[in-house]
Homo-oligomer: A and B are copies of this chain.
Amino acid sequence: MHNAFTNEEYLALVNEALDGFVPLCGDERDLVAKAMRYSLKNGGKRVRPVLLLEFTRVCGGDVNVALPLACALEMIHTYSLIHDDLPCMDDDDFRRGQPSCHKQFGEATALLAGDGLLTLAFSVASKAPLAPERLLPCLTTLADAAGYLGMIGGQTMDLQHEEQTISADLLRATDRLKTGQLICAACRIGCLAAGAGQEKIDAAQCYAENIGLAFQIVDDLLDITGSAEELGKPIGSDEEKNKSTYPALLGLDESRRLVGELTEQALNALRCFDDAAFLASFAEKLAKRTN
């Protein structure tokens, strides 16, 4: 097994690789390339690529071989944010304290930058230096998680819940698709890239489902209790938009209790891995984060 990486080492790996995957080419196409690079570089905790790489490592795989897959996942996450921020969707002018892509480059270029990142994700992933029969299931997992039965399905459900109160169950079903699917894909692809067996893939899936939902509940809590400076966006925006949130539906205390319970279940799922200290600490940090 590879020696342990720190979160900072993973971030450095991912950020450098992402930069290399969107070179400028010196002609008019660079307009969209610059918009793609702008959004890719805009902060981000790189949660999905870090999870993918660490699952590859704990399953005995080569982190460098899995790196293109990790970057592909971050590209898909970034494209979804660019399109989500557009005026016809959430109409957000800021993302992580910076002007959103369409505020910086205009709507048409932002639309194409999102399309460009989604497409580039599959180009980059299809060239990962893995055995073809191992790589193909990774690509299928990526596409299905991002697709209309996965993440896009969650965004579609979200559209239909605007300005209305929904049940906690429906909110959970929406989030399981909208944010949960890519997090599950990260953990599963990490295992698949290392050639792990079904037991480990199932455990990774269980870990992912629990931290994915906890992540979303913490997001909602921070919108109420966080500071605008730390978050890089105004607080209270969910309430202003009449969004159904876990704290609004379940109360602050129950929401916090649920985060604790989900994190506990995520930690339990790690028992079949030999060297799960990083993943355990990662789940705990996500639950306690302030931005």
A contacts, CB < 8 Å to B: 22, 25, 27-29, 31-33, 36, 79, 83, 86, 88-89, 106-109, 111-112, 114-116, 118-120, 122-123, 126-127, 132-133, 135-136, 139-140, 142-144, 146-149, 152-153, 155-157, 159-160, 177
Contact = CB atoms under 8 A, between A and B. Distances in A.
Residues of A contacting B: mostly: helix
A107 B133 contact: no
Contacts of A119: 118, 143, 146-148, 152
B111 A83 contact: yes
A139 B115 contact: no
The 5 closest A-B pairs by CB, nearest first: A132-B132, A123-B143, A88-B107, A116-B148, A29-B153
Contacts of A155: 112
Contact of A108 (B88, B112, B114, B133): B88
Given A119-B146, A152-B116, A111 B126 contact: no
A247 to B, nearest CB: 23
A65 to B, nearest CB: 15
Q: Which of A32, A135, A143, A152 has the most CB of B within 10 A?
A: A152
Contact of A147 (B111, B120, B142, B146): B120
Number of copies of this chain in the oligomer?
A: 2
Contacts of A157: 27-29
Contact of A144 (B123, B136, B140, B153): B123
Nearest to A131: B132
Nearest to A127: B140
A160 B111 contact: no
Given A136-B135, A148-B36, A156 B123 contact: no
Contacts of A22: 148
21 contacts: A27-B157, A28-B156, A31-B159, A86-B88, A108-B159, A109-B159, A111-B111, A112-B155, A114-B115, A115-B118, A118-B119, A119-B146, A119-B148, A120-B143, A122-B143, A123-B140, A123-B143, A126-B136, A132-B132, A132-B133, A139-B139
A192 to B, nearest CB: 13
A115 B29 contact: no
A14 to B, nearest CB: 20
A156 B122 contact: no
Contacts of A159: 31, 108-109, 112
A188 B33 CA distance: 26
